[in-house]
Amino acid sequence: MGDQETRAALDRHWAASDAGDDDAEDEIYHDDVVLEYPQSGERIRGRLAIRTTRGLLPNKHFTIRRVIGSGDLWTTEYIISYDGKPSYVVSIMEFHDGKVFRETQYFGDPFAPWPGRAQWVEMMGGRE
């Protein structure tokens, strides 16, 4: 699979994730995919287990900030809001034979700007 096809598959995956379309969302994964959440220490093995655990999540909405990558390594930076509460996420996906065989996701909650650096920063728009 070339970069254009991989990017199209990622676009379909994230759109399906936002729409709650489980079938289209997990189409990108190998059956024996491994998903890791380093911050919580969790590892989920297999497409069915990932689908099941994601189905337990509260109302969610995805805002994709950027997708970068080539070949078998792709990174998506996005904001996921659960019941309106945003979390900033980086998802690293490793592909093999056109499907994701390993995904690692890092989550970061928003925080207030530090006043001590105010004179050197400009505030970004688009925070949820």
Class of domain 3-109: alpha beta
Residue ranges covered by each domain of the chain? 3-109
Per-residue pLDDT tens digits for 60-107: 888 999 999 999 999 999 999 988 889 999 999 999 999 999 999 999
Q: Give dist(CA 63, CA 6) in Å, integer.
A: 19
Please check the confidence at residue 38 and state whether its pLDDT lies above 80: yes
Q: Give dist(CA 52, CA 46) in Å, integer.
A: 10
pLDDT value of position 128: 44
Cβ atoms of 24 and 13 within 8 Å: the answer is yes
pLDDT value of position 126: 54
The whole-model pTM stands at: 0.88
| Average pLDDT of the chain, as a whole number | 91
Q: Which pair of structure tokens corresponds to residue 26?
A: 């997990």
